[in-house]
Amino acid sequence: MSLIETTDLYKTYALGDVSVHALQGVSVSIERGEFVAVMGPSGSGKSTFMNILGCLDKPTSGKYMLDGIDVTATDLSKLAGVRNRKIGFVFQGFNLISRTTALENVELPMIYNHTPASQRKKKAMEALEAVGLAQRAYHMPNQLSGGQQQRVAIARSLVCDAPIIFADEPTGNLDTKMSIEVMDLFTRLNKEMGKTIILITHEPDIAEFAGRLITFRDGKKVSDEVKK
């Protein structure tokens, strides 16, 4: 069984009297341990696709199976628990809480899933060590560079041992050097820890780090290419 399996996904939004077809019959299968980049111009459907895969939204029709769970048949109220167990998120804007330390930011998902306090600090520190930032554990976000803040966000995505990391334009706020460092880290997490990485990007050079490229246009999957 594939880790992610979508069948004929459609997503339609009503804007007044106009229907916007954000996804039109998208079927994709992603295996455990893949590193997949998703590209497409603005309005192509890639962000809608990620929101559905990330259990942040549900399709208008079609089916989505996530690690054996039928997401399309699961109440939105229950999807938060699925997200916490199965998915770690990394966003372009880092989304760190400014008044808490790097360590406390990494601990946050474990508070939501009721991990005992005695375990949270240990697991958060291990995650910071995995991204090379243990020595910055007690620094505030404004004491960290952009690349370091993104690595804290990546550590946060690791602490619940979710098999999937969704990275939405993770290098969008970084310079070239920091972008390469962050993408090298994703590559290491994929190869050494077996994390399934799904990367949303509009930058072809960033997409090159992935082993597979899916391209969207006008709500449809127009290509799906595995690199040799």
DSSP β-bridge partners for residue 88: 165
Taking residue 140's Cβ as centre, other Cβ atoms within 10 Å add up to: 16
- State the pTM of this model: 0.90
Q: Where are the alpha helices (DSSP H) in the chain?
A: 46-53, 76-86, 102-112, 117-130, 146-158, 176-193, 204-207
Residue 104: pLDDT over 70: yes
State how far the Cα of 143 lies from the Cα of 149, in Å rounded to an integer: 9
pLDDT over 80 (residue 228): no
Residue type present at position 50:
M
Q: What is the pLDDT of residues 39-61, one digit of tens each?
A: 999 889 998 999 999 998 899 99
pLDDT value of residue 85: 87
pLDDT band of residue 112 (cuts 50, 70, 90) is confident
Distance CA 215, CA 161 (A): 28
211 in Cβ contact with 183 (< 8 Å): no
Rounded distance between C-alpha atoms, residue 160 and residue 107, angstroms: 9
Domain architecture of the chain: domains with CATH: 4-226 (3.40.50.300)
Q: How many CB atoms lie within 10 A of CB 57?
A: 16
The pLDDT tens digits of the residues spanning 155-194 come to: 999 988 899 999 999 998 889 998 999 999 999 999 999 9
Q: Which residue has the higher pLDDT, 91 or 135?
A: 135
Tokens representing 62 are 């079609």
Chain segment 57-85, per-residue pLDDT in tens: 899 999 999 999 999 998 877 888 888 88
Give the list of residues 6+ apart from residue 177 with CB closer than 8 angstroms, or none: 147
